[in-house]
Structure formats: structure tokens, C-alpha cells
């Protein structure tokens, strides 16, 4: 049987790749993807902890599904924002989106 640690290693890697991407990428799409990575890393953790530590309960799984749903919704909203931002400023570079800055 695969040990819990392996799941955690994968999710940690995903999490930090996501964080790294989030901090370093300039493209909003790339940032969004990085964000997905972070969220999915968390969801892997949820599912893994649920399965290994509390196999008779289902809360972790529910949270994972809940998280996936939220992520989907969030991606939709984020893409909509990005498209609008593109229409407004002509590209999707995060540093160019300064219209709201005082």
C-alpha cells in the first residue's frame, strides 16, 4: 500500500510549484493555473488525510468535492475578469493592470 507520505510529498511539491508560479509569473492565466495547483494540492491533502486517518468518516471527501466546485466557479470568474482586463488594457500582464491603483 502506498504510504501517506507519498501523497503528502506530491501535494507539497504541487503546492510550492503553485506558489512559485503565482509569485513569479506575469501572465494572469499562468497565475490562475498556479492558483489551481495550490488549490488542488490542498484537495489532495484533504482526500489523503481522510482516507488514511479517518477512513470511517467522509468530511474530507466532501471538502475536496466542495473545493473542486469552488475552484471551478472561481476559475470561471477569474477568466471572465481576465478577458475583461484584456479588453480594457490590451494584454494580460498583471503589472499592467494598474487602473485601480490610487
Partner 1 sequence: MEYSILILITPFVLFLFLGLVGGKLKPNLAGIIGTLGMGFCSVLAYSIAYQYFFVIGKTADTWQSVIPFSFEWLRFTELLHIDLGILLDPISVMMLVVITTVSLMVHIYSLGYMHGEDGFQRYYAFLSLFSFSMLGLVVATNIFQMYIFWELVGVSSYSLIGFYYQKPSAVRASKKAFIVTRFADLGFLVGILILSYYTKTFDFAALTANNAELVTTSFAGGTFMGLSLVSWALALIFMGGAGKSAMFPLHIWLPDAMEGPTPVSALIHAATMVVAGVFLVARLFPVYIFGAPEVLTMIAYIGAFTALFAAVIAITQTDIKRVLAFSTISQIAYMMAALGVSGYGDHDGLGYMSSMFHLFTHAFFKALLFLGAGSVIHAVHSNEMKDMGGLHKYMKITSITFFIACLAIAGIPPFSGFFSKDEILAAAFHNQPLIFWTLWVVAGLTAFYMFRLYFGVFFNGKRDYHHKPHESGFTMALPLIILAVFSIFTGFIPFSEYISSDGKPFDMHIDMTVATLSVVAAIVGIAVAYVLYFKDSEKPAMLANRFKGLYTLSINKFYLDEVWLFVTKKVIFNCISRPIAWFDKQVIDGTMDNIANVTQKVSHRVRFLQSGHTQRYIAFFVMGAILIAIAVFIFV
- Binding region for partner 1 (CB under 8 A): 19, 22-24, 31, 94-95, 98, 101
Q: Among residues 76, 87, 85, 77, which one has the least CA distance to residue 26?
A: 85
d(CA 9, CA 35): 18
| Least distance from partner 1 to the Cβ atom of residue 49, Å | 18
Nearest approach in angstroms of CB 61 to partner 1 is: 26
CB of 15 to partner 1, least distance (A): 10
> Which residues contact residue 58 at a Cβ distance below 8 angstroms, ignoring those fewer than 6 apart?
50
User: Smaller CB distance to partner 1: residue 2 or 95?
Assistant: 95
Amino acid at each position: 500500500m502506498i504510504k501517506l507520505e507519498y501523497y503528502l510529498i506530491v501535494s507539497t511539491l504541487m503546492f510550492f510549484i503553485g506558489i512559485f508560479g503565482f509569485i513569479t509569473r506575469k501572465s494572469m492565466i499562468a497565475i490562475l493555473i498556479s492558483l489551481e495547483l495550490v488549490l488542488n494540492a490542498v484537495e489532495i491533502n484533504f482526500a489523503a488525510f481522510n482516507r488514511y486517518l479517518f477512513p470511517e468518516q467522509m468530511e474530507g471527501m466532501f471538502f475536496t468535492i466542495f473545493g473542486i466546485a469552488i475552484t471551478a466557479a472561481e476559475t470561471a470568474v477569474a477568466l471572465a475578469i481576465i478577458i475583461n482586463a484584456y479588453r480594457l488594457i490590451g494584454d494580460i500582464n498583471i503589472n499592467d493592470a494598474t487602473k485601480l491603483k490610487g
